[in-house]
Structure formats: C-alpha cells, structure tokens
C-alpha cells in the first residue's frame, strides 16, 4: 500500500510533516538511515509507516517500557498489529504477541535493549522473519551522553547477524554523538543521514531572572489552570515542596524523582499519561519515557544543566503541534551550582571543558538581548530563523551600555584578590561600612563606594549577567569566590564594550499571559469533546490522547464537521478511529448521531463514500425499473460498498459482482456513475 494512503487511512493525516516523507521513502526502501529530528517532529511515524509497507516484522528497540506500551496501544487503536516483549508483560500479553508472530500478523515488535543480552533473543529474532531494525533514542549508544545505555552497544552486532537494514532516530545528537552513533550502530556501512531543522515553532520560549521563584511558578501555572504541564526542579526536596504548593493553590499536582519507590513512580507516570490537566513536578528522572502529545507547558524552576538538556526538556511540550509554552527561571545560585557540578565531576578535563561550553551556550540563551529562538537554533547550526514566539520578540529587552558597570565590578574583584563572593563585592561598590569591610581594609580601596548609581538589586543583576556571559566564574577551590575569566580582559582594558539588560522587579513579577488554544466561542465545545474523550479513554483503560490528541479535538471544535465524511478530513482521524469513535464525537458536535449503515460508515471520508451515495441515489430511482412498474429490487448496503470500492470497469465485471438479475437492472446506470467519478 502506498505511503500516502497509509498515512491517511491508518494515521489520519493528509500530508507528511516537513522532512518525514524523504525518511519514510529511504527506510521503506531498505536503506540504512540515521535521522536526527526535533522532539515532537514525528520520528515514530518514520519507522512505523515503513514497517507497514515492508514484508516481515520490524523490530523496534526502545529504552523505556512505558514508552513502548504507549506506542503499542496507540498503534492498536489505529488498527495496526503491534506488540512488545518486556519484563512488564503479563503472561496473557506475551502469549498474544507470540500468537500474532506465529500467525504472521505482527508488523512491529518492540523490545528493550537489555533483552538483547539474553542468549535466547538472537535465536528468536532469527526465527520470526525480521526485515528491519528501528532504534529509537539512538543517542543512548553514546558513552559521553547522559542517557548512555550499555546494552545499546549490542545493536550493531544484531544488525550484522540478521543482515537487515537499520534505521536509527534521535532528537539530540551533536556532531560528536552523531559520529559515535554511526560507528557503533553501522560500523563501516555508512547510513544515509537526515538532519532536519531543530525548530519547534509552536513552542513559545521565555526566561526570567529568579525573584520569589516559587511565586513565579505558581503564577505561571495559575494562568494555565486545567492544562497538563511539567515543572522541572534541581532537587528532590524541591519537587515535593513545589507540588504541595501547587496543590494548595488548587491544582492537580504530583511530584516525581529518582528517590521514590518504583511503584509510586509508575503510578505517577500512568496518571500523567491518562489524566487531563495534571501537573508533574519532577527532577530530570521524569524524562525520556514521556510521550504525552498534549503537554501544554513546561517550566524550569531551576536552570537546566546544558543547552541540550534544555532543548530536550522543553521539547516534551506541544508534541501534537498545538501551541505550547515554556518558562525557565535562573539566578546566580543556579550558575554557581552548575559550574561546581562540572568542576567537581569525574569527567576527564576535555569533557569538563566541553560541559562548560554547553553551559555557556545555555547562559547565553538566558541572557540573550534579542530573539531567543535565533540564539537557540544558532547553537544547532541553523541561521535562517523566523520567530515571533518568544518573550524577547513579544517585548524587546530594555538594554543599556553596561561597560562601565562591568569594569567597576571587575576592578572590585581584582582589588580584593578574587577571594570574595558577590555579596561582599556589592558592599564594596556601594561603600557599605561593615565590620568585615574594615577588618579586611577594603574601605580604603579605590573602588570603595564607586557604584552608588545602582542599588543592591541592580548590582545583583549586573553580577548575574556577568556570570551568564562567562566574564566571571565561581572558584570551587576558594569556596565559590568570584574570579575573572580571559573573556573579561578586553572589557577591562577598554578594548570591548558590553550591553546588559536593565532588570527590574516590576518586570520580573508580572503575571505571564496565557496563549489561548481556541477562541472563546469554541471553548465550550472543546470542553465537551474532552469530556467525551476522557469517558472513552477510561472505559478503554488507555491514555486520553490515544483516542484523539488535543490538536485533533481543537480542529473538530473549530470546523464543526456535520458528517462522518467531514470528520474524516480532520487531522489525526484515521479510518479505524473514525469507525470506532467518529459517531460518538459527531453526536457531541451536532447533538445527534448520524444514521449510516456500517458498510457506508467504513467508506467515510474516502472517494468511495461519495460514489456509494451516488449509487444509492441511482438505485432508488431504478428500484422498480426504468418505468417504475417492475417488481422492487435493490442491492444490499455491503454490495453497494463493494461496487464503490472495486469499481468494476465493464458490463462483465459488474455482472460477476451483482449477479444476473441485479446486473440487468442496475449495471448500465452503475457504470455511468463510476465513469463520472473517474
């Protein structure tokens, strides 16, 4: 079956997303492929659809059982034979997978990389007729990566042993990681590499300096009440405290971290997948397995550890393509913590240097003076950027020439021997006559009192931005005292200038506005559609988005289809889902169910459906013959559906389908209908 037909009938989409079609073609033709696509860019479809086009079984190696189970459920809802062999299976689930394999029905088999360590796995995979291997989250093969999984190293051997093509997919792979993936998974057989844009234009980007961070998160969540969201925190304790604060403010919120009991973590994962409007406050342990497409916002209560981590974490929002929002809070303590984590880590020196570089890129994004999207995508090598969806495009930064202020601060650092933190240095600049100042003799320094044009908070903002621009760093060997970097020398010597943001408390505490997903007029219908989805999902014991995702429901609410034929053209409504759920959602929209014969319902949205309607009309006119005086004769609905789908091209073929008596009355007129339709 052609890719376009499968895309429409199984997955419910009229067109591929940018870049998908080329990858689908390459994978379906059996070429080795490495595809780097943005999170939410439709990676899974790029191996699921080719699996349906190829003979045999496609083995999908994926790192997380929860993620596999969700994908298998979604495929089954769409009418695709898929299964997973995992340690989390019940005996009944495992038996069903084996039966489908032995009957030759199964198209996609999901397994974890750890299963490859079992001696029986190779024999089993040889026996079942594997025609292709797909590797999800391929960056897990990189030993430098934070998601490294040792068992991913076995996949290259598996590919060679089975002698089948391999398609590897990831959303986060810099040049080093790409090289390592190619070496370990493909050996000398270089794959075709697809590197697609990292932009997620539906995600709004925003950063804010910390100022009562708990209150900032609570206000951000309050403006988005009832929407699913994730709040990432730097510590386990903070996840619990912030989740409680959100619950106290009337939100449905749970915490999640690696120190929790495994069963409690699983309960939180399942609830988040299945329930609408739930907020999870988590450490980064709540990560790769989250495939919920209708997460509407992601907030960071603390600065992420790198620009790649930031990109991956915000990428969990808006995977359905509908609008999503982000907010990242940061402050001097975050920067100090991230620097010390790198400096005190066990990585070799060259890796620590690279980690400081990644952190610098994130800080450059946090302290950006112009479009954040342009800054973010430049890191991934993209220069042609259209934005309009970040806080700096919404309201340009209020900047000033900070060269003099930075020189004064650097002078204070140098004259105090690079032995002090920001608090004492600000006291020097403001001329605060403290006991410590007199004890150290710093009240006699030339820089004492030279910074009275700014108050304490403004100087804190200057020092934070200097840390963000990597002009100064906390020195772990001097208890976090600030020292100057080489990047600061040109400014100190008067060879360079620097612009800073004019931070103000008023700006930091403003209530973040929510972007409406749908206009006011359509909002009640969207709520009703979500309620219907929730009821169907609970009955089927599947996550709500497996029925239909938010973007599909939004399109239903905005276009208000009047028939199943109209509904079939909504994005995300494939033939199987239309047959199973179409009438339920149509009834919510129109107030009444559409009465269609099941045979006609199966043709909804296809050209055969309109041919069926025309055949039925012609049949009605001829049911008593051309003169209206003959004995009544009709074709059954299923027979009309066969004619509409098979489209016999001549009298003989029509006669074989209808039989002699019906062909005599209807064949000629039916053939006229079919000719008009071509």
Look up the CATH superfamily of 523-595. Answer: HRDC domain (1.10.150.80)
480 Ramachandran zone, left/alpha/beta (phi>0; psi -120 to 50): left
Average pLDDT over residues 658-678: 85
pLDDT at site 514: 58
pLDDT at site 78: 87
User: What percent of the chain has pLDDT above 90?
Assistant: 37
Task: Tell me the pLDDT band of 137, cut-offs 50, 70 and 90.
Answer: confident
- For 223-237, 481-495, 615-629, which range has the lowest pLDDT when averaged over its residues? 615-629
Q: What is the DSSP letter of 30?
A: T
Q: What is the DSSP letter of 17?
A: P
Helical H runs in 469-563? Answer: 489-492, 505-508, 523-540, 544-547, 550-559
Average pLDDT over residues 84-95: 84
Fold equal for 3-195 and 203-394: yes
Q: What is the DSSP letter of 281?
A: E
**pLDDT exceeds cutoff 80 at 146:** no
For 490, the token pair is 């040109």
Task: Tell me the pLDDT band of 322, cut-offs 50, 70 and 90.
Answer: confident
3-state DSSP call for residue 230? strand
Task: Tell me the pLDDT band of 516, cut-offs 50, 70 and 90.
Answer: low
What is the DSSP code string of 157-222? HHHHHHT--EEEEES---HHHHHHHIIIIITTSPPEEEE-----TTEEB-EEE-SSHHHHHHHHHH
pLDDT at site 173: 66
Contacts of 35 (CB under 8 A, 6+ apart): 23, 43, 46, 167, 168, 169, 170, 193, 194, 196
For 392, the token pair is 């700096």
The four Cα atoms 486, 492, 493, 495 give a dihedral, to 10 degrees, of: 80
Q: Which helix (H) or strand (E) holds 334?
A: helix 332-343
Q: Which helix (H) or strand (E) holds 335?
A: helix 332-343
Q: Which helix (H) or strand (E) holds 482?
A: strand 481-484
State how far the Cα of 407 lies from the Cα of 119, in Å rounded to an integer: 65
Average pLDDT over residues 587-594: 75
Q: Pick the most confident of 220-224, 360-364, 535-539, 622-626.
A: 220-224
pLDDT at site 505: 39
The four Cα atoms 42, 44, 46, 48 give a dihedral, to 10 degrees, of: -140
Average pLDDT over residues 257-272: 88
- For 281-295, 635-649, 651-665, which range has the lowest pLDDT when averaged over its residues? 281-295
Q: Pick the most confident of 70-79, 119-128, 598-607.
A: 70-79
pLDDT at site 625: 81
Query: Can you tell me which residue has the tokens 């619990």?
Result: 240
For 282, the token pair is 């988590």
**pLDDT exceeds cutoff 70 at 289:** no
User: What percent of the chain has pLDDT above 70?
Assistant: 95
Average pLDDT over residues 594-603: 72
**pLDDT exceeds cutoff 50 at 509:** no
Query: Can you tell me which residue has the tokens 């064949």?
Result: 667
CB 316, CB 67: distance < 8 Å? no
Task: Tell me the pLDDT band of 413, cut-offs 50, 70 and 90.
Answer: very high
Tell me which architecture the domain covering 3-195 has in CATH. 3-Layer(aba) Sandwich (3.40)
Q: What topology is assigned to 203-394 in CATH?
A: Rossmann fold (3.40.50)
Express each pLDDT in 180-216 by its tens digit. 888 889 986 789 999 877 888 899 999 999 989 999 9
Task: Tell me the pLDDT band of 652, cut-offs 50, 70 and 90.
Answer: confident
Cα–Cα distance list, 83 to 101, 203, 299, 515, 579 (Å): 9, 32, 34, 39, 22
Return the sign of the alpha-carbon dihedral for residues 524, 526, 531, 536: positive
**pLDDT exceeds cutoff 90 at 172:** no
The four Cα atoms 176, 181, 186, 191 give a dihedral, to 10 degrees, of: -70
Burial state string for 393-409 with b = 16 or more CB within 10 A and e = fewer than 16: beeebeeeebeebbbbb
**pLDDT exceeds cutoff 70 at 145:** no
pLDDT at site 510: 44
**pLDDT exceeds cutoff 70 at 388:** yes
Mean pLDDT computed over every residue of the chain: 87
Cα–Cα distance list, 384 to 182, 197, 363, 374 (Å): 27, 10, 22, 8
Query: Domain 399-501 carries which CATH code?
Result: 1.10.10.10
Average pLDDT over residues 229-243: 95
The ranges assigned to domains in the chain are: 3-195, 203-394, 399-501, 523-595, 607-677
State how far the Cα of 402 lies from the Cα of 555, in Å rounded to an integer: 48
């Amino acid at each position: 079956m052609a890719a376009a037909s499968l895309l429409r009938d199984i997955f419910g989409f009229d067109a591929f997303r940018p870049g998908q079609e080329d990858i689908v073609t390459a994978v379906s033709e059996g070429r080795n492929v490495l595809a780097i696509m943005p999170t939410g860019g439709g990676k899974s479809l790029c191996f699921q659809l080719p699996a349906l086009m190829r003979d045999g079984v496609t083995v999908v190696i994926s790192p997380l059982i929860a993620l596999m189970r969700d994908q298998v459920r979604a495929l089954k809802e769409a009418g695709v034979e898929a299964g997973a062999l995992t340690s989390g299976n019940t005996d009944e689930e495992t038996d069903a997978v084996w039966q489908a394999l032995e009957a030759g029905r199964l198209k996609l088999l999901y397994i974890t990389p750890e299963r490859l360590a079992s001696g029986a796995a190779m024999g089993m995979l040889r026996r079942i007729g594997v025609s292709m291997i797909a590797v999800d989250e391929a960056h897990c093969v990189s030993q430098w990566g934070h998601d490294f999984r040792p068992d991913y190293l076995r996949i290259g051997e598996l590919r060679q042993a089975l002698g089948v093509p391999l398609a590897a997919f990831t959303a986060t792979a810099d040049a080093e990681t790409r090289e390592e993936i190619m070496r370990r998974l493909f050996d000398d057989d270089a794959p075709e590499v697809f590197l697609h844009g990292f932009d997620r234009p539906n995600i709004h980007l925003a950063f804010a300096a910390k100022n009562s961070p708990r209150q900032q998160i609570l206000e951000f969540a309050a403006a988005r009440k009832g929407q699913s969201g994730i709040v990432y925190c730097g510590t386990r304790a903070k996840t619990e405290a912030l989740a409680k604060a959100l619950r106290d403010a009337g939100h449905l919120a749970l915490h999640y971290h690696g120190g929790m009991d495994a069963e409690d973590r699983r309960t939180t994962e399942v609830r988040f997948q299945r329930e609408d409007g739930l907020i999870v406050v988590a450490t980064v342990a709540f990560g790769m397995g989250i495939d919920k497409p209708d997460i509407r916002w992601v907030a960071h209560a603390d600065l992420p550890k790198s620009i790649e981590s930031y990109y991956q974490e915000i990428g969990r929002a808006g995977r359905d393509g509908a609008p999503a929002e982000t907010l990242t809070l940061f402050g001097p303590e975050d920067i100090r913590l991230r620097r010390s984590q790198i400096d005190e880590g066990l990585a070799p020196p060259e890796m620590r240097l690279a980690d400081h570089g990644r952190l610098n890129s994130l800080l450059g994004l946090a302290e950006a003076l112009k479009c954040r999207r342009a800054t973010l995508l430049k890191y991934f090598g993209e220069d042609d950027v259209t934005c309009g969806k970040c806080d700096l495009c919404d309201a340009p930064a209020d900047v000033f020439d900070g060269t003099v202020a930075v020189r004064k601060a650097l002078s204070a650092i140098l004259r105090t021997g690079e032995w002090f933190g920001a608090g004492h240095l600000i006291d020097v600049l403001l001329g605060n006559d403290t006991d410590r100042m007199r004890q150290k003799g710093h009240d006699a320094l030339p820089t004492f009192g030279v910074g009275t044009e700014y108050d304490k908070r403004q100087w804190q903002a200057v020092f934070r931005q200097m840390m963000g621009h990597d002009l100064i760093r906390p020195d772990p060997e001097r208890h976090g005292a600030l020292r100057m970097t080489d990047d600061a020398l040109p400014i100190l010597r008067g060879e360079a200038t620097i612009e800073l943001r004019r931070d103000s408390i008023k700006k930091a505490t403003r209530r973040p506005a929510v972007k409406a997903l749908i206009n006011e007029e359509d909002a009640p219908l969207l709520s009703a559609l979500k309620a219907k989805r929730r009821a169907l999902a609970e009955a089927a014991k599947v996550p709500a988005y497996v029925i239909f995702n938010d973007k599909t429901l939004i399109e239903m609410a905005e276009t208000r289809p009047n028939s199943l034929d109209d509904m079939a053209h909504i994005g995300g409504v494939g033939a199987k889902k239309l047959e199973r759920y179409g009438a339920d959602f149509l009834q919510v929209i129109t107030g009444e169910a559409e009465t269609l014969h099941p045979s006609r319902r199966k043709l909804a949205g296809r050209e055969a459906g309109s041919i069926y309607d025309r055949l039925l009309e012609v049949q009605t006119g001829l049911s008593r013959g051309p003169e209206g005086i003959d004995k009544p004769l009709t074709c059954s609905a299923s027979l009309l559906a066969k004619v509409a789908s098979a489209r016999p091209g001549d009298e003989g073929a029509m006669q074989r389908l209808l039989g002699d008596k019906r062909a005599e009355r209807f064949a000629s007129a039916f053939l006229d209908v079919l000719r008009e339709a071509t």
